[in-house]
């Protein structure tokens, strides 16, 4: 199939995200690059060793194993050994992923990763069964129903958590801040994720929350802004963009959201990798965020005051990849003050490469950088104003906590991986042996009177004192030019 260069370039933009989202809301960069094949020099001695191991398994393993399974597992192991985000998707998983990018999918609604053989929650998707039940970033899933997670692959665990809508599964979770394990009984559902939520919090002050970056996120945000602007009957006094617990998604969606607030043509993000097509500079122009370019530009009719309205971006440890791109771009251009806690730190781009057998591989092909050349990888976005959400943050995880994470090319390792010593493992086992379970806590409603970070963002916009959790150099208060 042939496509014109502009359309092909747009397809290359794809998605970025963090981990693997239960129900296949995967974070990735979609790209039709299966046709582009290179012929590397094959390591013959190593391939002979592989063939020897393959033969021994076929003849001596305690049970008969199909060739297809052995090859599939070998491919999976080759990819997962690279970094936490490269993986192999069988044909069913690939089809589910394609459905997920449309914003509707089945499952529990958890973005997860693998750490030391166990499943770690990166972020629950808002309004999903997992979010409603109270799962949190950093939770360690140790049992699925009565089956221990230890020894499963991430794909195996995800498949067990999937199922028909209205069926139940019990997750046993170890939380760092709890002395006893938590048990969550979740009912599977078709997740219809609404990626943009919004409201006028009070006259003149607009609030928009992006829960994930999907195909229509930029367009939906533009509609939300117009609706709030009409309701306000005039220019905004302040704007809060909430990217907390946003695991990422489509990269062109991140560019479109950034472009809504930046002058046309400003650099939003650039990527660097080994392959020529992994080197991109994405600016705030329609060709980089909407199919059809200027003819379909959904931000062209936005009110002019949106480019200068005082603005705060909210982030936390669940803000990853595409959401970090937006926060970093607005922060670098001094367009917004960033408030909250340090973001997840996923600064790599994954490309989906369809295979001839109907499967696909998700391969890390590039790192991305903010307009000022900052790499977010294993470091994240550091807020201008550090404000915790009022709960214990010690259980939160970041990219740097994951095994085999890529290093930050600018600063080296940002911090050491999470504690995986024998003492930590024994402590987790002791928690599982407890007969009683702790009660899960309900999530804080965003933009409510209980939302400490939102309250401090409003104070910042109004010129009132901001109560910070950790003293930092005071950032510039956003001003209207």
Give the model confidence (pLDDT) of 133-147 as tens digits. 999 888 999 999 999
> How confident is the model at residue 11, as a pLDDT?
43
Average pLDDT, the chain: 83
Closest CA to 136 of 167, 173, 100: 173
Angstrom distance (rounded) from CA 112 to CA 344: 13
Report the pLDDT value the prediction gives residue 353, as an integer from 0 to 100.
Answer: 92
Which residues are within 8 A (CB) of 276 and not within 5 positions of it... i.e. 6 or more apart? Answer: none
Strand pairing partners for 69? none
Q: Is 134 helix (H, G, I), strand (E, B) or coil?
A: coil
Share of the chain above pLDDT 90, in %: 56
- For residue 409, give the 3-state DSSP assignment: coil
| Cα angle value 136/142/147 (rounded, 5°) | 135
The 8-class DSSP code of residue 23 comes to T
Q: Are 30 and 10 in contact (CB under 8 A)?
A: no
What's the pLDDT at 410? 74
- Torsion sign across C-alpha atoms 80, 82, 86, 89: negative
Question: How many Å from the N-terminal Cα to the C-terminal Cα in the chain?
Answer: 48
What is the pLDDT, as a whole number, of residue 423? 47
Mean pLDDT, range 166-174, rounded to an integer: 94
What is the torsional sign of CA 470, 246, 444, 125?
negative
C-alpha distance from residue 147 to each of 144, 157, 169 (Å): 5, 10, 11
Which pLDDT band, with edges at 50, 70 and 90, does 307 fall under? very high
pLDDT confidence band for 481 (50 / 70 / 90) = very low
What is the value of pTM for the model shown? Answer: 0.72
- Report the alpha-carbon distance of residue 28 to residue 94 in Å, rounded: 12
- Is the per-residue pLDDT at 428 higher than 70? no
More confident position, 424 or 395: 395
pLDDT of residue 440: 61
Q: Is the pLDDT confidence value at 477 over 70?
A: no
Confidence band for 249, pLDDT divided at 50, 70 and 90: confident
Provide the pLDDT for residue 102.
59
Report how far residue 154's alpha carbon sits from residue 350's, in angstroms, rounded to the nearest whole number: 17
Using DSSP's 3-state secondary structure scheme, residue 240 falls into strand
Looking at residue 101, its pLDDT comes to 58
Given this model, what pLDDT does residue 104 score? 57
Q: Does position 155 have pLDDT exceeding 90, yes or no? A: no
Which of 85-94, 224-233, 410-419 is predicted least confidently?
Answer: 410-419
CB 385 within 8 A of CB 473: no
CA–CA distance from 34 to each of 11, 13, 22, 352 (Å)?
13, 15, 25, 9
Neighbours of 354 (CB within 10 A): 18
pLDDT at position 194 is 77
Residue 366 banded pLDDT, cuts 50, 70, 90? very high
Mean pLDDT of 332-346: 97
Has residue 416 got a pLDDT over 70?
no
The H or E element spanning position 432 is helix 422-432
Residues taking part in catalysis: 321, 332, 346
**pLDDT above 80 for 396:** no
Three-state SS at 198:
strand
Average pLDDT over residues 257-276: 96
> Residue 298: its pLDDT value, please?
96
Q: Which pLDDT score is estimated for 127?
A: 79
């Amino acid at each position: 199939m042939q496509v014109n260069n502009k359309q092909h370039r747009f397809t290359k933009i794809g998605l970025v995200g963090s981990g693997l989202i239960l129900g296949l809301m995967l974070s990735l960069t979609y790209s039709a690059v299966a046709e582009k094949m290179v012929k590397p020099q094959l390591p013959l001695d190593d391939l002979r060793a592989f063939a020897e191991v393959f033969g021994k398994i076929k003849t001596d393993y305690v049970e008969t194993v199909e060739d297809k399974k052995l090859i599939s597992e070998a491919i999976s192991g080759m990819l997962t050994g690279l970094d936490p985000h490269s993986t192999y998707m069988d044909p069913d998983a690939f089809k589910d992923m394609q459905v997920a990018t449309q914003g509707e999918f089945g499952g529990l609604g958890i973005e997860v990763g693998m750490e030391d053989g166990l499943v770690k929650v990166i972020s629950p998707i808002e309004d999903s069964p997992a979010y409603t039940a109270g799962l949190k970033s950093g939770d360690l899933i140790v049992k699925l129903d009565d089956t221990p997670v230890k020894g499963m692959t991430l794909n195996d665990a995800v498949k067990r958590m999937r199922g028909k809508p209205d069926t139940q599964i019990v997750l046993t979770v170890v939380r760092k801040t709890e002395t006893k394990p938590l048990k969550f009984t979740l009912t599977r559902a078709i997740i219809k994720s609404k990626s943009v939520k919004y409201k006028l919090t009070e006259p003149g002050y607009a609030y928009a929350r992006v829960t994930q970056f999907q195909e229509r996120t930029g367009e939906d945000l533009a509609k939300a802004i117009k609706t709030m602007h009409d309701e306000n009957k005039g220019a905004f006094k302040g704007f809060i963009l909430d990217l907390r617990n946003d695991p990422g998604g489509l990269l062109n969606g991140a560019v479109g959201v950034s472009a809504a607030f930046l002058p046309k043509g400003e650099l939003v993000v650039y990527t660097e990798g080994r392959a020529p097509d992994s080197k991109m500079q994405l600016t705030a122009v329609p060709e980089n965020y909407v199919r059809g370019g200027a003819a379909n530009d959904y931000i062209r009719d936005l009110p002019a005051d949106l480019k200068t309205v005082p603005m705060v971006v909210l982030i936390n440890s669940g803000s990853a990849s595409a959401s970090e791109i937006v926060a970093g771009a607005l922060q670098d251009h001094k367009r917004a003050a960033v408030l909250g806690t340090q973001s997840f730190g996923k600064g790599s781009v994954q490309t989906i490469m369809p295979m001839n057998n109907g499967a696909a591989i998700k391969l890390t092909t590039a790192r991305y950088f903010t307009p000022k050349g900052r790499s977010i990888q294993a470091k994240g976005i550091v807020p201008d104003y550090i404000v915790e959400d009022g709960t214990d943050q010690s259980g939160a995880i970041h990219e740097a906590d994951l095994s085999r994470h890529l290093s930050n090319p600018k600063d080296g390792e940002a911090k050491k991986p999470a504690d995986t010593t024998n003492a930590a493992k024994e402590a987790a086992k002791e928690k599982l042996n407890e007969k009683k379970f702790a009660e899960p806590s309900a999530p804080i409603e965003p933009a409510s009177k209980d939302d400490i970070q939102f309250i401090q963002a409003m104070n910042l916009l109004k010129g009132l004192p901001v109560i910070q959790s950790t003293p930092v150099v005071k950032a510039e208060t956003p001003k209207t030019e």
